[in-house]
Every structure is written in C-alpha cells, then in structure tokens.
Amino acid sequence: MEKGNKKNSINIVLTGDANYSKVMGVTIVSVLENLNKNCFANFYLYTEGFTNEDISEIKKIESIYNCEIIIIDVGEYIKIFDFVDQKDFKNSYISKSCLYRLLMFKYLPENVEKCFYIDSDIIVDGDLSILNLPDNKMFAAVPEGYAMQHREKILEHWYRLPEYSNFVKDPIKYTHFGAGFFLADIKKAKQFNVFAQIVELLKKYPAMPYADQDILNAIFGQKYQEYMFYLPPEYNVFSDQNYNMVYDRLPYSNEIFQNACLNPVVIHFAGINKPWVNNHCNRFWNKWWIYCNKSPWKFYYAPKYISIICGGEFKKIIQNIFSVRNEFSQNVKRKVITIAGVKFKIKSQA
C-alpha cells in the first residue's frame, strides 16, 4: 500500500522471543486498526530467536497498514544484563526478557524523540495518536490500581529501600505505576543518561520482585518525579483484575477508575490467563480474538479458538452430535458418520 506522511508518525517498542512472535503481531494489528489513518507507525521490535519465517510473517503487516516494522535482535545487547539471574526473581512468571524494553532508553535511532512501549499481551482498542506527553515531562504511565490499594503487602519491599522513601512519605504523589504500557521522551531520557542509571540500579538490586517495573518506578516515579506524567486509568486495564471492589487509595476517584474499567483503551492480559491459551480471562476475552481475526494469523489460531470454545464437556456433546471415524471389518474399510446419535456407514476402498 502507499505509505502515508512519515512526518505525522508515532514510535512504538515491543519485545519478545520467537514464542511470542504471532501474539506480538496481533498487538501490532490492534494498534494499527485504531490508529488515525493519516498517522504513520514505526514499530521497533526487540526480539530474541526470531526465525526468518517469523520475521517474514510479521513484516506482512507492512503491506496492509501504514507502518514500518524494524526488527532489532537483542543478541548484541543481551550481555549488558549478564549479572541478572532470572532464577532469583520472586515471581516465576517474570523472565529476563522483560529487561529488553529498557534498551529503548539508549538503543533507538537518534531521530526517535518520543516512543511508546507496549507489552505483547496487550490489545489497544483506541487511537494512540491522540495521546501526548507534555513537553516538560519525560515519562507517562498509569498508576496500578490493585498494587496501590494493597501497597503495604504488594509493595512491601519499597518500604525497606531508600530509593522509594518519597513513596513511603507520600504514596499518592509518588504513586506506583505499571510498566506494561508507557510513553517516554527518549531524547530527554538520553540527556539525563537514564540508561546508565537503570543499569547501575539493576546491579544494586538484580532480583527485584517486579524486575524492570521496580527499576522504572525508582527512576521516573521517584527520582525524576517532577518529569512524571500519570495517564488516565483506561490506558492500562487488567483483564483479570477484580473491579467490583472499591478502590479508594488511588490518585483519582473510584468512580473514574470504575468507568475506565468499563471503557478501556488499553487491555492488558497480564497473568496466567491469556485469550490464546484459555477462556478463563474475567473480561475482554473476545477482544483479543477480534483483532486476531483481522491479523495474518487468523487461520493459524483458528484451531486453537475452536479447541478453547469447544473444550471439556461441550466438546463431548459436539462429538456425540456429529463425528466421523474410520472402521475396518473383514478387510472392508467404512466411514462411520454419526449425526444426532444415528450412525451411517459408507463403504470405501480398503
């Protein structure tokens, strides 16, 4: 397709290994389906283990949408984090690959000034081009509701570390934010030499419970809080979060929080329940499949979709209503077709 004006563009970073290549592609499609058609999107993918086939598949998106996809193999940068051992992480579901997003604060082209980061288990259901970072700010993210509501337990390690002393004194002003979706002024971050500070803090605390999220909070939410901009809660809504409870320890009212949960722009399938894995997500399970169906991977995931919706007892019911199997008897091969409990046998060549 004819590319739009690159002067009106946004930049987006995603990260992942080969196991997430297709899921990452669905996230990209969700962004592009909702992006202003006059806006050009540059995607920078920090990847590990992508095959030529993976790259070829995800680059197909360029022929459908107004975008460019740049693949950045993390192989040459991964040694930067050699001192980190993911076995030391408190949460087993966090892997070392989560640190790859931190590379964006140093290893993006010089012409990239402002840039989004999006986790690959996210669906964007709105136009990102309307989201702006004020010129006097360096970093924008959403306060994490559940962690803030239960901060003494979930963020108990913050109460013991000097880097979070501001939070202990004033948790509303120095609030905790999620790192699955954010917008950063890369040019300003380079001027502040943020990446070097990130690495230094990682060396000091190589096994923080929430890994890169703890580090980013310490830098942007605590040290450089005056350059922090908090996004409305609809820009990071967790699909599995309990939204029926009252959230009264946040920087905004419970009414604003609940309304955001009903009308999300960014849907985050954090945790063990993923739409492409099972149908146990509390909310928005169908949203992921809507965008998957618009992606180059709709036929790849179709059997998985059928398997999920036809799982368990429902699958057995379907099989009882209709099934086809082969039967051999006295060297004669027959197809046995069962429809609503009635069997039909059709002779075929043995």
DSSP string, 97-156: GGGGGGGGGTSS-TT--EEEEE-TTEEE-S-GGG----TT-SEEEEE-HHHHHTHHHHTG
Name the CA dihedral angle for 52, 53, 56, 58, rounded to a multiple of 10 degrees. Answer: -110
Which residue, among 160, 92, 145, 120, has the nearest Cα to 12 in the 3D structure? 120
Contact 146, 241 (CB under 8 A): yes
Half-sphere exposure of 36 (CA within 13 A, CB side): 12
Residues in Cβ contact with 58 at an 8 Å cutoff, skipping those fewer than 6 apart: 21, 24, 25, 28, 45, 69, 71
State residue 313's pLDDT score: 43
Distance CA 245, CA 57 (A): 42
State residue 332's pLDDT score: 60
Q: What residues form DSSP beta bridges with 185?
A: 114
State residue 76's pLDDT score: 81
Distance CA 261, CA 135 (A): 28
> Which H or E element spans position 180?
strand 177-185
215-242 per-position pLDDT tens digit: 999 999 999 999 999 999 999 999 998 8
Contact 93, 82 (CB under 8 A): no
State residue 60's pLDDT score: 96
Q: Which stretches in the chain have pLDDT values below 70? A: 1-7, 86-95, 311-333, 336, 338-343, 348-350
State residue 23's pLDDT score: 96
State residue 3's pLDDT score: 52
